Structure 1
Amino acid sequence: MIRAESAATEDVAATLEEYAAAWTALDLQRVADQWDRQDHEVTYIAEELGEVLVGHERISEHLLRTEHRITTSRASLRDVHVRELEPGLVLATFICRWDFEWVAYSRVSAVLRRRGTRWLFAHYMEAPFHMEDWDGQNRT
């Protein structure tokens, strides 16, 4: 569960839960649809790539290629912190546990922008790291 301190952070928390649920369902089109299509400079810095993906089309292509290489998935978020930078723009940081055929952890920072009633990624960056203990609880 993600704690939220304002209406904006509550809505962003729901977006992040949807992001994790889409990964768990291996619905990577649904994951890709969480990047802002109106902004042609949206970015995704994936830990497995040596380049920064810029633009919704490139991000979507990468995610959809990934969809066919993974047979099982579960994404769990914890230590989620959402800070409103200005109205309609937030910074979210969290730890993600990835359960594929292997287990991996990433620290994530993301900038999300409100478009109508939805919050969409404008920037997303993963940084892998080792984590000994994981109890699945949000500690923030």
Structure 2
Amino acid sequence: MSEIDSPELNRRDLMTRLAGIMLLTGASTGSEKVAAGGHTMPEFIGYPLSDPGLFAEIDAVLKRTEEIWLSQEWWRLPVEIWDREDPTPIYVAEELYNVMVGWDTLDRYIFPPSKGLDAFRWGYSNLFVKYLAPGVALALYDHWFEIKIRAPGPIGKPRHGFDRVLSIYNKRDDGWRQSLYAQCPLGPDTYARRMAEKLVGDDWDEFYEEVKKKDIQDPRLKRPIEPRQQQAAPRPAPQQSAPQSAPQSAQPAARPVPQAADPRKPMPSNSPPPKVPPSAPETTPLPTSVLEEAAEEVPRQLRGVPGRPPQ
């Protein structure tokens, strides 16, 4: 078991360590309406109507819980608020990794050896209740708290927080007693955004309505350019070509053979005339007498050549 999960860890050490951890996350954007004020909770989102009698009884228990915290007499909580007849009470604290189940663990959390809280106050709103079974009720509500740790330096500065809470109450002879207390905080980015919204002043809505009535025009800015009326012509749809079969072998493509121009077809007026390959020069045939004289002269010349037999 790790040190932070051990029930032997006293509340002062635990709160001192956790008080120094800050949530530095970028706040995500959202469309929720900004709620002004330091302690105002989100606007009521429309829970179903609760049983009036059950609502009044559970609301009285929560008011007593608030009064005990404001009086700084937290040791009264296990006796006046929690169900001591339940052997396995459950406390889901937002600052702990594990859930506390049973009085052995819960008493060490509520009754630490030394008090680490310098001051603490607690409040609630948006209550909704329902029966889970005869004598068993569930409460859903928002709560806020302000806490100051007994420690020097920045850790000892007061800080604010808020959660959603689920509680289960058992009906006993002396009234409703708490059996489950589960804090349900928002996610880191949602929590940071909500904290930024809660910093808005109470008079923001009034200020914003006055701003909307003014016609604010910066003289340094030019008039906005009117949007163009003409729209670009739509592009023609691409023509789909017939699918081509894959080549069977990787052979180089054959070069196209130039075709000779057909002289029977008229040539276009704007096209150059086709190139005609040059023809061989015409020769004049020799007279027959010249050929006969050459035939007689060749044997006479060959008689003087060595190795030739005389004719």
**TM-score normalized with structure 2 length:** 0.40
The RMSD of aligned alpha carbons is 2.3
From 101, 110, 118, the counterpart of 1:71: 118
Aligned 1:88-103 pairs, distance under 5 A: 88-100=135-147, 101-103=158-160
CA contact (8 A) 1:28 1:67 kept: no
Is the aligned partner of 1:127 residue 2:173?
no
Provide, for residues 37-76 of structure 1, a one-character-per-residue CA deviation record: whole Å limited to 9, x for no partner. Answer: 1111110011111111112342122022298111111111
Q: Where does residue 168 of structure 2 map in the other structure?
A: 111
**Helix, strand or coil: the match of 2:198?**
coil
Quick one: which amino acid aligns to residue 172 of structure 2?
A: R
| One-letter amino acid of the counterpart of residue 85, structure 1 | L
Cα deviation per residue 1:118-139 (whole Å; 9 max; x = unaligned)? 21111110022333339xxxxx
- Which position in structure 2 is the counterpart of 1:137? none
Could you give the per-residue CA deviations for residues 7-26 of structure 1, whole angstroms, max 9, x where no partner exists? 23211110011112212222
Counterpart of 2:72 in 1: which secondary structure? coil
How many residues align? The count is 133
> Residues 9 and 86 (structure 1 numbering): CA distance in 2 closer, same or farther, change over 3 Å?
farther
1:26 aligns with 2:72: yes
Q: Do the aligned partners of 2:51 and 2:130 also contact (CA within 8 Å) in 1?
A: no
Q: How far apart, CA to CA, are the structure 2 residues paired with 1:24 and 1:107?
A: 20
Farther off after superposition, 3-12 or 88-97: 3-12
Match of 1:16 among 42, 62, 81: 62
Gaps of 5+ in 1: 135-140
The unaligned stretches of length 5 or more in structure 2 are 1-48, 148-157, 200-311
Write out the 4+ residue segments of structure 1 that deviate beyond 4 Å after TM superposition.
none
Contact 1:78 1:96 in 2 (8 A): yes
Name the CA distance, whole Å, in 2 between partners of 1:95 and 1:111.
15
What do residues 93-121 of structure 1 show as CA deviations (whole Å, max 9, x unaligned)? 11110011210001100111111132111
The structure-2 alpha-carbon separation of the partners of 1:119 and 1:56, relative to structure 1 and needing over 3 Å to count, comes to farther
Q: Identity of counterpart residues, as a percentage? A: 23
* Contact kept in structure 2, 1:29 and 1:60, CA below 8 Å: no
Q: Distance in 1 between matches of 2:97 and 2:66?
A: 23
Counterparts of 1:84 and 1:32, CA distance in 2: 23
Higher relative contact order (CA 8 A, sep 6+): 1
Alpha-carbon distance, 1:35 to partner: 1.7
Q: Which has more strand, going by share of residues?
A: 1
